[in-house]
Structure 1
Amino acid sequence: MNNHLLYDRPVPYQRFKSDSEEIWNEAAPIGNGNMGAMVFGGVQAEKLQLNEDTIWYGNGGRNRVNPEAKDNYLKIRRLLSDGMVSDAQKLASDTMMPIPDQQRNYSTAGEIFFEFHEDKEEFKNYIRCLDLNQAIVTMEYEIGGRQYQREYFASAVHQVIALHQESKDEEKVNGCLTLTFFRSNVEKIEKISEHILSMTVKEGANGCCYCVMAAIKNKGGTVEIHRDQIRVNEADSFTVYLSVRSDFYKEEPSGWCRKKLESVLKLPYEFVKSEHIKEYQSYFNRVQFSLGQDTEKAERPIPERLKAMQQGEQDLELIAAYYQFGRYLLISSSRPWSQPANLQGIWNRNEHPAWGSKYTININTEMNYWPAESCNLSECHLPLFGLIRRMLPFGQKVARDMYGLSGFVAHHNTDLFGDCAPQDTVMPSTIWPMGAAWLCTHIWKHYEYTLDQKFLRENIDLMKEASLFISEYLFENHEGKLITGPSISPENTYLHQSGQEGQLCIGPTMDTEIIRDLLEACIKGAEITGCEDELTNKLRAILPRLPELSVGKYGQLMEWAEDYEEMEPGHRHISHLYALYPSEQITYERTPELMEAARVTLERRLKNGGGHTGWSRAWIITMWARLRDGEKAGENIRDLLTKSTYPNLFDCHPPFQIDGNFGGTAGIAEMLLQCINGELTFLPALPKTWDCGHISGLKAKGAITVSFTWKDGEVISGSILAEKGGRCLFLKPDSITKIVSEQKVNITYEGQKAVCYGEGVYEIQLLA
């Protein structure tokens, strides 16, 4: 698989001015989980824009809960129940909105500048390549008949970002690194040794203190350090290493950086590079994916290929590369030792970015982790659970202070510090107490895919605390059903029968869907880990009293407890289809009438302009996949690439948000393999144009790994590896005539379904 993203020119950035969104999104991202950089690919002059995942504005520990909330949210509930929507929203605006209204925001570590050639001769034969197979950006160019090569990567092994410059013609090379330009919050710049320069920076609003440290390892030539510059002269080659660290971990950042740099300077560059590749490939190489090789297109620059797709050209291998790019981004921004991927992963150019580049947990953060399990990157999921753990005490306090209830609650955003109070003062989004509940369903998802009981035992308390809050927050409506409120259906507006426009409501469909998933997971988890208790019994009693999903007057799935008209029928959020994806509450096998209602809902949204943001389009792909409509899923993959993708393949909300990349990757996986209610289905939503291909290493629930090849839209061979034994059920493709296994595996058939059971690890082969 090629997996090379090619570009034929440098990014035309401006050295002394902030880059526009369009310019910045031509640069190539590299990252090792906690450190990231954007590579602009300049020839004579270059810059790296740096990030580290704990550099946030301000700090945590504030209590932003409105002190009037606890005494008023029940009044607001009664007003909503009585149809007095405007009065309820006015009271909520006064008494439930947070003080202050903003959580903390993610920031940037700044920019590092380089000069490589003093002369300004024209360059030619330029090519820049992000190699997804190795997580290395390579540049090649020619000046005055001399050929040069430069490489960039972010090493998780040695915790450095590396830049290596050399001449292919054994010419001498020069370089000058400038550590800072016009940064008002720089505290100190100091020479650490003959090859190391350090910069200490203080983030605003009493935020973190962090260090950016640079070192040069030269082969031949000389090195000088003056003020904020390191210069290398007449070298055969040289390598710049950068390390970035904040004091979030309660250690001295400069000492940490110095230790990393002094260690890596002792090693040959080729060894550092090879160790980086080996470690990265231990994640990336788990999945191989091809939709048929097209070598001619693979040698064309990415912007040219995207433009050709906009003009109607087919480029299946770009779709395959886009899938792998999503996996690359998750590996590069979320590792077991890092913070979770935020709204921009780790790649953020602004001190105060859009939406604070926080963790938006009414869809975006969850979408970031949709590909983690199915796309064989389960370890990349772990940072999310670390964040939920950090949120727990703050969420318990918010539950007490805001609602007078027990348990764990969070609203539609959180930050590095675990703030769980509402964010903003925006009626369509702020008062939504389901953030912790949705996040905690990811704990169960991780268990379903891995069957890791130790993990489940260590984290079931989070699910229990979120369930405890829900059990106390639910109240009985006039039909005897248990519903939530005040809440919203993110971030939509309805028209009440009285003519009032509203966002705040009681019993929105998405709340009930999330609660059903959470409570069922909590009960099953307690049974598996042997920690059933009074709460478990309470949850069992609640489940049958939750409202059933309903179909509205247009044949659509109802978004609210009442069949309201929508003020924005093409709204970007389609929250009530959570039950279709990522949940499995709506399926053809169990709820065919609701599947039809989901289709009507989706068609109505799209007919009225829905899917106009990148992440929304990505969610739509997964929904069409669940609806088993390969043509519609394929059309929306094309729309994602042609309407919502920047030249560097970053998702365009606009501006850049990484969730669309991750959702798109998850959607492609869902088109190829589905595991619904324990049943595997091959190629459930294959577009006709994807007539042949190969995928290996996809994951399914039950610690199962699946690989297969297809031709003319039919599976011709494959394998299913049950890594922890047990039962595996799959829908046998018509083209498969033989199912064999070397191990003692019991294989029975129930019509079109094959049921396999074996003790310990076993693998079965599918043959046409």
Structure 2
Amino acid sequence: MKNKRHLALKHIVTAILLVMVADAARSQTDLKLWYKQPAQKWTDALPIGNGRLGAMIFGGAEEDRVQFNEQTLWTGSPRPYERKGAVKYLPQIRQLLFDGKQPEAEALAQQHFMGMKSNEANYAPDSTKWLKKVSAVVAPAAPGFNDSKWKTINLPAANGWEITPGFEGLDGAVWLRTTFDMPANMTGKNMVLSIGRVRDIDHTYVNGKLIGSAANTANRKYTIPAGLLHQGKNTIAVQVINFFDKGGLTTVKEKFAVYPEGENPENGVLLKSQWKYWIQDDNPPSYPRYNADYQPFADVYLQFPKQAVTDYMRDLDISNATAHVSYKANGVTYTREYLSSAPDQVIAIHLTASKPGSISLKALLKSLHKNFVTRKVDDHTLALSLKIRDGVLKGVSYLHIQTKGGKVLVTANNIAVTGANEATFYLSAATNFKNYHDVSGNPEAICKKQITVIEHKSYAAIKAAHIKDYQKYFNTFSIDLGKGVNADLPTDERILKFRETPDPSFITLYTQYGRYLLISSSRPGNGPANLQGLWNDLLTPPWGSKYTTNINLQMNYWPAEVLNLSACSEPFFGIVDDLAQTGKATASEHYGAPGWVLHHNTDQWRGTAPVNASNHGIWVSGGAWLCHQLWEHYLYTKDEVFLRDRAYPEMKGAAEFFVHFLVKDPKTGYLISTPSNSPEHGGLVAGPTMDHQIIRDLFKNCIAASELLGIDKAFADTLRLKYNQIVPNKIGKYGQLQEWMEDKDDTTDTHRHVSHMWGVFPGTDITWKTPELMKAAERSMHYRGDEGTGWSIAWKVNIWARMKEGDHAYLMFTKLLSPADVSSGKEKGGVYHNLFDAHPPFQIDGNFGGAAGLSEMLLQSQGDDIELLPALPSALTEGAIKGICARGGFDLNFSWQRGKLQTLEVLSKNGGTCHLRYQDKTISVETQKGKTYRFDAGLKQL
């Protein structure tokens, strides 16, 4: 009788599992972002990518723009980043910090301890000569100067003049002119001219007289002496000299105005937003830079005959990585399909029409880079060649056309298609980059080979290979949280309604979109995802679109292991391999230390030295944090070959650095990290909490790896000794977890970085085994608040989930999915129409951090057990998940209803003991490699 009941129960559970799998499969079919209109701006466009080639699809009916990137196109060149001899200033910097002289320590470090910039040695004489030349031109300042042929620009521009067509990436000298009408009652008074921040030098004239000049990025307020202005029209002329990055008149604290001295700007004359401009010289000497910038490659423009369009739709299907546009015009249904193929290394654009002979268009290649040319390769191929202005890289792109029916004409400027039944464009792109110290590649040969390979393939075959390749990654995981009332709305409308109306399937879409973006931007054999993944349309992208290593690069890979995309971590391991080499020189020259070190930013050329400013650029824990994720990969996969041959040597090198670097604090006697900082907060200090949490984690993991591999016992003993001497986490006067050695936290401080929470997540320095520290961390999180930039909110989702506060984690998730580009026009953290995360502006780490945050609500395995539904929000009362991964080498499928676990399957990939916990019950199961184990809601094995 007992066996019959057991068999019946087993059948019931099997049936439930089949329904769960069917529901998960259904949810996979709903994974589309879709819209009723073309993209109006870049953050409306839809991303595709194969790990190396990425594109943004705008989908216009009359003109379609496909803006594309190739992962290796950066400014700069191979070079040393470390500053020789910096180490001799280390003792002085430390002593100044011990003496409480932070400003003096920062000044000394800025002068002597920061890394080398590009072109640092040659810049000064070239710049002096160029500045003298452009500054000698003063004629445009004259009131009567004829500017009738000048173009116009809207000012101020918050993100610099680069967003203005014709100004993309522009550096140099530019003249700006406007006029304003002076009322009679203001004449005879001293007036103030307020034009806001200027990047970087200005010479400002009123009615031909120089009234002010400055060489910084501060707000400009200049006094116009009484008598210089007259009733009626007056002229303002500003020569702006911009060396790099944002240029022009950028932001204004008060008003863009002329007003009486000592009075409110509101009482003055507001300046017009439209100014005239003349680009005087756009070729200044290459400005010294700490880091290189990731660059856009070019654009494909598809220009169609003008027609009245109906039934327009644009979508991105993340279940098979294809984007689509469809519409009707003159009784014909037109469709376009876009994909970026990893097997064939091309971007494909496939055009069809319901009526034969209806496809006619012109295709053009254009680039923002000054040094680009297009040329005809053959009767079906147009090429574009470019050279980076500030760097050694060159790029080539081929646009190849295949048609059914119709005529094709290729010139040096475009490809014209007339009367075709079908048309398919194949886009290839490559650079001369081979690795961070070799730029001897042949991009022309690479493009030619890629096009030659696909010339005799059908589009159907290329698409099938692309989908098969993509889905081997994507289909390892599925999730179904149920369907909300807004599930059938366009994506931009769902964003607006998400916080007011439950839409659990939108969370499913967002989570799977994070996985889609990781697969599309990080594939084995290519480089890692940068601050914008693979996608960037600006020559001066935000923060250089580089690799920021005080959280952002690491956050990009938070979902990789747990959401069954371990293979996508390979590019991350690749950059760690490189940095472990380049970081040796920085460790030696700056700290006189063995091993390797990485500070808070790196780029294509793998610089590891301190950059930007001493108050935040001297942060020594980047390499150790990268090593945390190497160890995590081992914990998830139990791959001892990876641990022995790749991870452990790099972990050991990072630990060797800290064994040397840690010094005794003269006040407490503990070992501390100094000089360093709590990332981007509080300046250069001795002993930030985050550093100590990361260093302890590194030492602990190295010790465990040493024991597991049976090597380096003496070194492990050294680490044990040092581990116990590192200053512990401290609880401050407000009951908070201290961010620094000193108890100086401000309860009103809402800084975006919550760095001292590292020990809660992603680390394990603070767990529920130390409840007093967890409570202190929770207190700190309440003080820091729930607002923030996109990635900061994503981090908070994970922290609150790790604290097992599911509803608070979900609250943060709703903020992460709030609209970034609101009707007021002011951007904030959240998501854009295409679900890209907003810092603002766009940073992809929030997408990845958010996807990881959902997994943290549903499963945690950082301790001894695999805990099911540890932070399930009350808003997600039912769901099913398949393929979520746990440390120890286990894949889990499970479902829940009314907030309670229903079914559970565990696949053991490596064998060993599996400890499962749900609510107050814990069980242990001895497993065999490759075997699946089933359990009921009470964790009873079936």
Asked if Structure 1 and Structure 2 have the same fold, meaning a TM-score greater than 0.5 normalized by the shorter chain, the answer is yes
SS of 1:152's equivalent?
strand
Query: Where does residue 102 of structure 2 map in the other structure?
Result: 85
Query: Where does residue 508 of structure 1 map in the other structure?
Result: 688
Query: Is contact 2:357–2:405 with CA below 8 Å preserved after alignment?
Result: no
User: Aligned-residue CA RMSD in angstroms?
Assistant: 1.5
Matched, 1:284 2:284: no
Matched, 1:238 2:423: yes
Matched, 1:757 2:920: no
CA distance in 2, matches of 1:530, 1:664: 38
Q: How does 1:444-523 map to 2 (within 5 A)?
A: 444-459=631-646, 460-478=648-666, 479-493=668-682, 503-523=683-703
Query: Where does residue 645 of structure 1 map in the other structure?
Result: 831
- Could you tell me how far 1:181 is from its partner in structure 2? 5.4
Matched, 1:633 2:801: no
Query: Where does residue 737 of structure 1 map in the other structure?
Result: none
Query: Is contact 1:152–1:161 with CA below 8 Å preserved after alignment?
Result: yes
Query: How high is the sequence identity, in percent, across the aligned residues?
Result: 39
Q: In structure 1, which of residues 149, 155, 164 is the aligned counterpart of residue 350 of structure 2?
A: 164
CA distance in 2, matches of 1:93, 1:276: 50
CA distance in 1, matches of 2:37, 2:633: 42
Matched, 1:601 2:780: yes
**Amino acid corresponding to residue 336 of structure 1 in structure 2:** P
Query: Where does residue 748 of structure 1 map in the other structure?
Result: none
- Could you tell me how far 1:441 is from its partner in structure 2? 1.4
Q: How does 1:355-370 map to 2 (within 5 A)?
A: 355-370=543-558
List runs of 5+ in structure 1 lacking aligned partners. 13-22, 494-502, 735-751
Q: In structure 1, which of residues 221, 226, 251 is the aligned counterpart of residue 441 of structure 2?
A: 251
CA distance in 1, matches of 2:413, 2:726: 63
Query: Is contact 2:368–2:539 with CA below 8 Å preserved after alignment?
Result: no
Deviation by residue 1:700-722 (Cα, 9 ceiling, x = unmatched): 11111011111000111120111
SS of 2:831's equivalent?
coil
Query: Where does residue 56 of structure 2 map in the other structure?
Result: 38
Query: Where does residue 592 of structure 1 map in the other structure?
Result: 771
Change over 3 Å in CA distance of 1:257–1:533 after alignment to 2: farther
Query: Where does residue 581 of structure 1 map in the other structure?
Result: 761
Q: How does 1:344-423 map to 2 (within 5 A)?
A: 344-423=532-611
SS of 1:642's equivalent?
coil
CA distance in 2, matches of 1:170, 1:674: 56
Deviation by residue 1:321-365 (Cα, 9 ceiling, x = unmatched): 000000000000001111000000010111121111110000100
**Amino acid corresponding to residue 370 of structure 1 in structure 2:** W
**Amino acid corresponding to residue 507 of structure 1 in structure 2:** G
Query: Where does residue 75 of structure 2 map in the other structure?
Result: 57
Deviation by residue 1:119-153 (Cα, 9 ceiling, x = unmatched): x2221101111101011111110111211111001
**Amino acid corresponding to residue 266 of structure 1 in structure 2:** H
CA distance in 2, matches of 1:163, 1:641: 30
Query: Where does residue 433 of structure 1 map in the other structure?
Result: 620
Query: Is contact 2:760–2:766 with CA below 8 Å preserved after alignment?
Result: yes
Query: Where does residue 867 of structure 2 map in the other structure?
Result: 681
SS of 1:277's equivalent?
helix
CA distance in 2, matches of 1:760, 1:637: 36
List runs of 5+ in structure 2 lacking aligned partners. 1-26, 118-288, 435-439, 820-829, 938-942
Change over 3 Å in CA distance of 1:374–1:182 after alignment to 2: closer
CA distance in 2, matches of 1:489, 1:48: 41
CA distance in 1, matches of 2:885, 2:625: 22
Query: Is contact 1:222–1:232 with CA below 8 Å preserved after alignment?
Result: yes
Matched, 1:270 2:460: yes
Query: Where does residue 203 of structure 1 map in the other structure?
Result: 388
Matched, 1:540 2:725: no
Structure of higher CA gyration radius: 2
Q: In structure 1, which of residues 649, 655, 658 is the aligned counterpart of residue 844 of structure 2?
A: 658
**Amino acid corresponding to residue 601 of structure 2 in structure 1:** N
TM-score by length of 2: 0.75
- Could you tell me how far 1:33 is from its partner in structure 2? 0.5
More deviation, 3-12/522-531: 522-531
Query: Is contact 1:437–1:514 with CA below 8 Å preserved after alignment?
Result: yes
CA distance in 2, matches of 1:637, 1:80: 39
CA distance in 2, matches of 1:585, 1:567: 23
Q: In structure 1, which of residues 304, 328, 336 is the aligned counterpart of residue 493 of structure 2?
A: 304
Q: In structure 1, which of residues 74, 77, 80 is the aligned counterpart of residue 91 of structure 2?
A: 74
Deviation by residue 1:620-673 (Cα, 9 ceiling, x = unmatched): 000110111111111111111115110100000001000000000000010111
CA distance in 1, matches of 2:529, 2:446: 23
SS of 1:689's equivalent?
coil
TM-score by length of 1: 0.92
SS of 2:655's equivalent?
helix
**Amino acid corresponding to residue 172 of structure 1 in structure 2:** S
CA distance in 2, matches of 1:514, 1:75: 25
Deviation by residue 1:667-697 (Cα, 9 ceiling, x = unmatched): 0010111112131111111111211111110
SS of 1:611's equivalent?
coil
- Could you tell me how far 1:176 is from its partner in structure 2? 1.5
Query: Is contact 1:58–1:204 with CA below 8 Å preserved after alignment?
Result: no
- Could you tell me how far 1:550 is from its partner in structure 2? 1.3
Change over 3 Å in CA distance of 1:182–1:674 after alignment to 2: closer
CA distance in 2, matches of 1:204, 1:464: 40
CA distance in 1, matches of 2:579, 2:767: 33
- Could you tell me how far 1:183 is from its partner in structure 2? 4.0
Runs of 4+ that moved beyond 4 A: none
Query: Where does residue 507 of structure 2 map in the other structure?
Result: 319
- Could you tell me how far 1:759 is from its partner in structure 2? 3.4
Q: How does 1:546-565 map to 2 (within 5 A)?
A: 546-565=726-745
Query: Is contact 1:180–1:228 with CA below 8 Å preserved after alignment?
Result: no
CA distance in 2, matches of 1:96, 1:229: 51
- Could you tell me how far 1:81 is from its partner in structure 2? 1.4
SS of 2:532's equivalent?
coil
Q: In structure 2, which of residues 501, 518, 521 is the aligned counterpart of residue 333 of structure 1?
A: 521
Query: Is contact 1:388–1:418 with CA below 8 Å preserved after alignment?
Result: no
**Amino acid corresponding to residue 928 of structure 2 in structure 1:** E
Deviation by residue 1:565-607 (Cα, 9 ceiling, x = unmatched): 339710000000000000122122x11111111110100000x
- Could you tell me how far 1:189 is from its partner in structure 2? 3.1
Query: Is contact 2:376–2:383 with CA below 8 Å preserved after alignment?
Result: yes
CA distance in 1, matches of 2:390, 2:344: 31
CA distance in 1, matches of 2:864, 2:47: 37
**Amino acid corresponding to residue 451 of structure 2 in structure 1:** L
Query: Where does residue 160 of structure 2 map in the other structure?
Result: none
More deviation, 621-630/219-228: 219-228
SS of 1:432's equivalent?
coil
Matched, 1:150 2:339: no
Q: How does 1:717-728 map to 2 (within 5 A)?
A: 717-728=903-914
Query: Where does residue 895 of structure 2 map in the other structure?
Result: 709
CA distance in 1, matches of 2:538, 2:60: 21
Q: In structure 2, which of residues 394, 402, 405 is the aligned counterpart of residue 217 of structure 1?
A: 402
- Could you tell me how far 1:455 is from its partner in structure 2? 1.0
Q: In structure 1, which of residues 91, 96, 101 is the aligned counterpart of residue 113 of structure 2?
A: 96
- Could you tell me how far 1:386 is from its partner in structure 2? 0.7
Query: Is contact 2:369–2:389 with CA below 8 Å preserved after alignment?
Result: no
- Could you tell me how far 1:278 is from its partner in structure 2? 0.9
- Could you tell me how far 1:251 is from its partner in structure 2? 2.7
Change over 3 Å in CA distance of 1:568–1:222 after alignment to 2: farther
